[in-house]
Structure 1
Amino acid sequence: MLVSSPSSNLIPLHLIEEEDHYLMILKSSSSSCVCPSCGIRSNRIHSHYTRFIQDLPINEKVVYLQVQVRKFFCTNIHCESTIFTERFSWVEPYQRQTKRLHKVLTGLALSNNCLAAARMANLLHVAISHDSLLRLIHQVEIPVYSQPCRIGLDDFAFKKRNRYGTLIVDLESKKTIDVLDSRNTTTVQSWLKKHPSIQLVSRDGSRTYASAITEALPSSTQVTDRWHLLKGLFDALKQALIDYLPSKWTEKKRVLSLSKSEKVISPRKSDQLREKHTDQKWERILKVQQLYQQGKAVAAIARQLNMSRGTVYRDLGQTKRPDLRRSSILDPFLPTVQSMISEGYTIDSIEQKIRKDGYSGSRSTLNAMAARVRRENSDIYTSQTVLRSKLLSNLWKEDDFKTVIHDVPDSFLETFPHLEIIYEAVHTFQSLVRNQDYQRLEAWISQYEKVTIPSIQAFINGIKSDLEAVKNALYYPWNNGILEGQINRLKTIKRMMYGRAGYELLKRRMLSSLEELF
């Protein structure tokens, strides 16, 4: 408690307990005080007044401190303050909360949007509104960082496809040092000129940032982000496949060499169930006959297998595997149907023929019979399908071209002969980036710049236009990975505030750190 602290100079007078709060009445015990303006101690009391201060809750109740405070005359005739109020170490002047409560509420406001933070504070039995929490954020002192040497730049959207800002991070301390409300050349250039200590700047492939850095800091080193290089390569590969390949390529071959006995026909579900039931019945018949041969009576077999004696007698008289297929009214006309289907007659012609011969069944029965005959007499086709999406994934991930084309037919490679060249260009550049082999970059450009694939040529032209920065990306260890994490944090803060906060509040939240607060 504040009262128990030796440096508090407070005397408890009274404690009032209400249903929802405590009120502690305190009195200052100091007979003198130091003037905050000139630092001279004075013991000349001017008057008394009362301060109401909220402290951390106790026993699920709000705590209020009613403190009787003195005002003093300053004895220094040259001091600008004639009268000053008594100061305490545990509360700031004019503040309605103790320092420890103020710190907790500030941390709560920075951790969430102020509406939710106010609800959370009320659950913790601290009386405060969301407007007061918002004021606490605006009172937080923004940290002042030393002049950075290595920074990273990246853009973010205030409103997608409409308005963008720029995030600046110190690559060495991994902390956000500023948030700009625009990404245009003038704004970025103006900020960079104020920080001449910068020696290295990591960025994406933006020409706007490249131009601003060149103008403001011509002697600094520019480094293109390696992840953006690989993303540009992947986009070029994807566009190349879109321009070069259909989304689905299928090769279908007709097989005529198989005999009827070699054909494998997938049975229908009803046929499968009938075969299963036939097998079960044949197993039961064999079991009945086996028990009878062992000398058991018919009544004993019936009791053991839980069946009637009549069924046992029928099973004993069975000499071959039963055929459970139902007979059809079309069975006498089956040879005619098979012959006419093989000769290419239509169902209508077949129906007219068999009705003249005496068929009186339905058309649906004929349709089912014709479908079964066609399945049995059909030629077998084999097909191979190549999906562009799967091929894209394999071309990007696999380390061996033979693995990529393992399931691809030869006719596909004959139709699209440039596939291997695309694979080699992509994987060679991947190797350069991942191994940071900057010495082979120009050789790679010379080898593949004449490839007649527009998207690959566009990617290479982009590298040539920013060659020094790309070389530096393959030489220096710095990249924009830290910025991507900070931009995710910025997006979380934007969503946390439902996108309704302005630039100043967003910047303050980004630059304020809970770690430094506590």
Structure 2
Amino acid sequence: IGLALAGRAGARMTDVFGAPTSRNTLLRLIASLPDPPVTAPRVVGVDEYAQCKGRIYGTVLVDVETRRPIDLLPDREADTLAAWLSERPGIEIVCRDRAPFFAEGATRGAPQATQIADRWHLWHNLGEAAEKCVYRHRGCLHPAPAPPDEPPEEPEPAASSPWPTGHRFAERTRAKHSTFHALLKAGHSKRSVARQLGMTLNTILRFSRAATPEELFTGQWQSRATKLDAYKPYLDLRWQEGCTNAWKLWEEIREQGYPDGYGNVRNYLSRTLRGKPQPVGPRPPSARAVTRWLLTHPDALVESHRIQLKAVLANCPELDVLAKHVRTFAHMVTDLQGDLLPEWIKSARAATGLPSLSRFAHHLERDLDAVVAGLSQPWNSGVVEAHVNRIKMLKRQMFGRAGCELLRKRVLLA
């Protein structure tokens, strides 16, 4: 009961069985149990688990052949893993992800073992790099505009008045200007007009010198220079592309160096761009959707997605090159053709316009032997990921209050 339900829940269950026991007694019984006998492992899987997410992490080790957990380490340091491996010289294969501390620990603790990088993590990292490449070329996701049948009409010249019509300040100033000059023509003096209209003498003088209301314009409606000016062409372009989310546009220009906050972008969109027409037609696919299509087997795509992907690749040579690299890597993963990886890395690093793919290939070179082994041998870390998920369940069952020793006992014995 203690191994299955731990303290409080186990104590409630013992009451049901008619053998009441306190939660502390159950925990003491669990702690007193000896570790299960474990044969010397040959293939070991290594991964991290969160003791306290974001703060404290440990290491779980699994016998991949028997699919049983072997041990839980209190941290994920390379020294701890190296010491554990060095006590078991019979280990021949270490399955791991590409975390540097696991790579270093396995190299120092089991130099005789072959390290295998997990294929799922490789495919996941490729997907992240592909999404960044697609987002970089998101302008190509819009279909090319069809040529117009007739030449477009010449736009009408803009109004000469610097004041927008219909604005309350502009209309009020025009009305005051008209009233002022009407009173002057009726024979009233400027001081008299000032008293009647409640205006200062300086304002009356300005009105008298202005033949038209537009001459009173002193800069209130001029576009003052702001930090957003340098990014307005980009915002206009993205608006025409169909992106109307102010927060997303603010994040995009912030990555380009825009120093101010979100409110200025929102105000510019609502006051300036909100009334501008957007291109008519179907909404273009998102970068994430195109990435999902690239990572999906062509035979598994529905017809509409296949047509959209074909149009996107035809519109962007860089994304077409990316698609070829993704398919080649997929064949290496599914057919275990790790010997083709060095040539793939060389080709990916030479691809122009795809910096994220080039960085991914560069990172593969740092762990080349393990990646080639992962793409050549059938071993993987799937069973380790299953036990990490089981550890999460046990932690939730104990409300996250289990220490490393109690959690280790339950993982190894339950």
State the TM-score bracket (shorter-chain normalisation): 0.5 to 0.7
Q: Give the deviation of 1:250 after TM superposition.
A: 6.6
1:504 counterpart = 2:397: no
Compared CA separation, residues 196 and 451, structure 1 to 2 (3 A): same
Corresponding residue to 1:165 among 55, 58, 80: 58
Q: Deviations over 1:404-459 (max 9, x none)?
A: 5613695x556532111111101110110111012222222222220121110111
Q: Distance in 2 between matches of 1:247 and 1:158?
A: 44
1:428 counterpart = 2:328: yes
Aligned residue pair count: 285
User: What amino acid sits opposite 2:404 in the alignment?
Assistant: Y
Q: Distance in 2 between matches of 1:162 and 1:126?
A: 39
User: What amino acid sits opposite 1:206 in the alignment?
Assistant: A
1:474 counterpart = 2:367: no
Name 1:443's counterpart in structure 2.
343
Compared CA separation, residues 220 and 115, structure 1 to 2 (3 A): same
Corresponding residue to 1:220 among 94, 110, 113: 113
Corresponding residue to 1:138 among 31, 41, 65: 31
Q: Deviations over 1:158-191 (max 9, x none)?
A: 1222121100011111111110011111111111
Name 1:417's counterpart in structure 2.
317
1:383 counterpart = 2:281: yes
More relative contact order in 1 or in 2 (CA 8 Å, sep 6+)? 2
User: What amino acid sits opposite 2:289 in the alignment?
Assistant: K
Q: Give the deviation of 1:247 after TM superposition.
A: 11
Q: Deviations over 1:265-301 (max 9, x none)?
A: xxxxxxxxxxxxxxxxxxxxxxxxxxxxxxxxxxxxx
Q: Is the 8 A contact 2:11 2:26 kept in 1?
A: yes
Compared CA separation, residues 220 and 407, structure 1 to 2 (3 A): closer
Q: Give the deviation of 1:256 after TM superposition.
A: 7.5
Compared CA separation, residues 123 and 214, structure 1 to 2 (3 A): same
Name 1:464's counterpart in structure 2.
365
User: What amino acid sits opposite 1:463 in the alignment?
Assistant: L
1:396 counterpart = 2:295: yes
Compared CA separation, residues 126 and 248, structure 1 to 2 (3 A): farther
Q: Distance in 1 between matches of 2:344 and 2:310?
A: 30
Q: Give the deviation of 1:113 after TM superposition.
A: 3.1
- Identity level (%): 31
Q: Distance in 2 between matches of 1:406 and 1:501?
A: 52
Q: Give the deviation of 1:145 after TM superposition.
A: 1.2
Unmatched tracts of structure 1, length 5 or more: 1-107, 258-347, 349-380, 514-518
Residue 384 of structure 1 aligns to a residue in which SS? coil
Q: Is the 8 A contact 1:395 1:404 kept in 2?
A: no
Q: Deviations over 1:445-484 (max 9, x none)?
A: 2222201211101111111111111111122211101101
Q: Is the 8 A contact 2:6 2:26 kept in 1?
A: no
Q: Distance in 1 between matches of 2:69 and 2:147?
A: 65
Within a 5 Å distance, the mapping from 1:122-133 to structure 2 comes to: 122-133=15-26
Compared CA separation, residues 496 and 409, structure 1 to 2 (3 A): closer
Q: Is the 8 A contact 2:298 2:306 kept in 1?
A: no
User: What amino acid sits opposite 1:123 in the alignment?
Assistant: V
Q: Give the deviation of 1:242 after TM superposition.
A: 2.1
Within a 5 Å distance, the mapping from 1:225-244 to structure 2 comes to: 225-244=118-137
Q: Is the 8 A contact 1:225 1:480 kept in 2?
A: yes
Q: Which has the higher helix share?
A: 2
Name 2:307's counterpart in structure 1.
406
Q: Distance in 2 between matches of 1:255 and 1:454?
A: 36
Q: Is the 8 A contact 1:413 1:419 kept in 2?
A: yes
Corresponding residue to 2:91 among 173, 185, 198: 198
Name 1:48's counterpart in structure 2.
none
Q: Distance in 1 between matches of 2:140 and 2:47?
A: 34
Q: Deviations over 1:346-388 (max 9, x none)?
A: xx9xxxxxxxxxxxxxxxxxxxxxxxxxxxxxxxx85133212
Q: Give the deviation of 1:144 after TM superposition.
A: 2.6
Unmatched tracts of structure 2, length 5 or more: 151-165, 167-278
Q: Is the 8 A contact 1:247 1:389 kept in 2?
A: no
User: What amino acid sits opposite 2:345 in the alignment?
Assistant: I
User: What amino acid sits opposite 1:399 in the alignment?
Assistant: P
Q: Distance in 2 between matches of 1:166 and 1:395?
A: 34
Q: Distance in 1 between matches of 2:344 and 2:115?
A: 21
User: What amino acid sits opposite 2:41 in the alignment?
Assistant: P
Residue 498 of structure 1 aligns to a residue in which SS? coil
Q: Distance in 1 between matches of 2:72 and 2:113?
A: 21
Name 1:183's counterpart in structure 2.
76
Name 1:49's counterpart in structure 2.
none
| Structure of greater Rg | 1
Name 2:266's counterpart in structure 1.
none
Q: Is the 8 A contact 1:165 1:182 kept in 2?
A: yes
Compared CA separation, residues 164 and 418, structure 1 to 2 (3 A): same
Compared CA separation, residues 441 and 124, structure 1 to 2 (3 A): same
Q: Deviations over 1:316-346 (max 9, x none)?
A: xxxxxxxxxxxxxxxxxxxxxxxxxxxxxxx
Q: Give the deviation of 1:498 after TM superposition.
A: 0.5
Q: Distance in 2 between matches of 1:253 and 1:501?
A: 64
Q: Give the deviation of 1:398 after TM superposition.
A: 3.7
Compared CA separation, residues 188 and 417, structure 1 to 2 (3 A): same
Q: Is the 8 A contact 1:255 1:382 kept in 2?
A: no
User: What amino acid sits opposite 1:430 in the alignment?
Assistant: A
Q: Distance in 2 between matches of 1:138 and 1:430?
A: 47
Q: Deviations over 1:84-136 (max 9, x none)?
A: xxxxxxxxxxxxxxxxxxxxxxxx11111321111122122222221221122
Compared CA separation, residues 474 and 256, structure 1 to 2 (3 A): closer
Residue 298 of structure 2 aligns to a residue in which SS? coil
Q: Give the deviation of 1:224 after TM superposition.
A: 0.7
Name 1:307's counterpart in structure 2.
none
Residue 407 of structure 1 aligns to a residue in which SS? helix
What do you get for the CA RMSD once the two structures are aligned? Answer: 2.8
Q: Give the deviation of 1:222 after TM superposition.
A: 0.7
Q: Is the 8 A contact 1:241 1:392 kept in 2?
A: yes
Q: Which has the higher strand share?
A: 1
